Amino acid sequence: MSSASGIPPPPSYVCAKCDQPLVRGKVVASYLGSEFPIELWKCPECGKVLVPRELATGRMLQVEQALEDK
Ligand SMILES: [Zn+2]
Protein backbone atom coordinates (compact mmCIF):
# COMPACT_ATOMS: atom_id res chain seq x y z
CA MET A 1 0.00 0.00 0.00
CA SER A 2 1.58 3.26 -1.12
CA SER A 3 -0.11 6.33 0.25
CA ALA A 4 2.72 8.81 -0.17
CA SER A 5 2.29 9.33 -3.90
CA GLY A 6 1.70 12.90 -4.98
CA ILE A 7 3.55 14.39 -2.06
CA PRO A 8 6.61 16.29 -3.26
CA PRO A 9 9.88 15.67 -1.45
CA PRO A 10 10.94 18.41 0.95
CA PRO A 11 13.40 20.91 -0.49
CA SER A 12 16.94 20.32 0.58
CA TYR A 13 18.85 23.36 1.68
CA VAL A 14 22.53 23.29 2.42
CA CYS A 15 24.47 25.76 4.55
CA ALA A 16 26.86 27.61 2.27
CA LYS A 17 29.34 27.92 5.10
CA CYS A 18 29.35 24.42 6.62
CA ASP A 19 28.03 22.42 3.66
CA GLN A 20 25.59 20.80 6.09
CA PRO A 21 21.98 20.03 5.22
CA LEU A 22 19.69 22.44 6.99
CA VAL A 23 17.12 21.13 9.43
CA ARG A 24 13.65 22.47 9.99
CA GLY A 25 12.94 23.85 13.40
CA LYS A 26 11.36 26.54 15.48
CA VAL A 27 13.40 29.67 15.89
CA VAL A 28 12.62 32.98 17.50
CA ALA A 29 12.76 35.78 15.01
CA SER A 30 13.41 39.30 16.14
CA TYR A 31 12.12 42.21 14.15
CA LEU A 32 11.90 45.85 15.16
CA GLY A 33 12.27 44.95 18.82
CA SER A 34 9.55 42.31 18.73
CA GLU A 35 10.20 38.59 19.06
CA PHE A 36 8.00 35.90 17.59
CA PRO A 37 8.38 32.13 17.09
CA ILE A 38 8.61 30.91 13.54
CA GLU A 39 9.49 27.69 11.76
CA LEU A 40 12.44 27.98 9.43
CA TRP A 41 15.36 26.05 8.03
CA LYS A 42 18.51 26.37 10.06
CA CYS A 43 22.00 24.90 10.04
CA PRO A 44 22.65 22.35 12.81
CA GLU A 45 26.32 23.25 12.64
CA CYS A 46 26.50 27.04 12.95
CA GLY A 47 22.85 27.84 13.66
CA LYS A 48 22.50 30.08 10.65
CA VAL A 49 18.85 30.53 9.72
CA LEU A 50 17.67 30.55 6.17
CA VAL A 51 15.07 33.23 5.52
CA PRO A 52 13.12 32.55 2.35
CA ARG A 53 12.63 35.54 0.11
CA GLU A 54 8.86 35.16 0.28
CA LEU A 55 9.05 35.46 4.05
CA ALA A 56 11.35 38.46 3.94
CA THR A 57 9.07 40.31 1.58
CA GLY A 58 5.77 39.01 2.93
CA ARG A 59 5.36 38.15 6.55
CA MET A 60 8.08 40.47 7.75
CA LEU A 61 6.28 43.29 6.05
CA GLN A 62 3.04 42.34 7.80
CA VAL A 63 4.84 42.37 11.13
CA GLU A 64 6.15 45.84 10.40
CA GLN A 65 2.71 47.08 9.42
CA ALA A 66 1.15 45.56 12.52
CA LEU A 67 3.64 47.29 14.73
CA GLU A 68 3.08 50.64 13.05
CA ASP A 69 -0.65 50.28 13.37
CA LYS A 70 -0.41 49.81 17.12
ZN1 LIG B 1 26.33 26.35 8.86
Domain ranges in the chain?
A: 23-69
pLDDT at 36: 80
Region class of 25: left (phi > 0), else alpha (psi between -120 and 50), else beta: beta
pLDDT at 18: 94
pLDDT at 28: 79
Q: Separation of 9 CA from ligand 1 center, angstroms?
A: 22
Q: Separation of 49 CA from ligand 1 center, angstroms?
A: 9
Q: Separation of 4 CA from ligand 1 center, angstroms?
A: 31
Strand ranges, E, within the chain:
23-31, 34-42, 49-50
Reading the chain (70 residues) residue by residue, the pLDDT tens digits are 555 567 665 557 888 899 999 888 887 777 778 888 888 888 999 988 877 676 666 665 565 666 676 6
Q: Separation of 69 CA from ligand 1 center, angstroms?
A: 36
Cβ atoms of residues 20 and 14 within 8 Å: yes
Task: Return phi, psi of residue 44, to 5°.
Answer: -70, -15
pLDDT at 27: 79
Q: Separation of 42 CA from ligand 1 center, angstroms?
A: 8
pLDDT at 4: 58
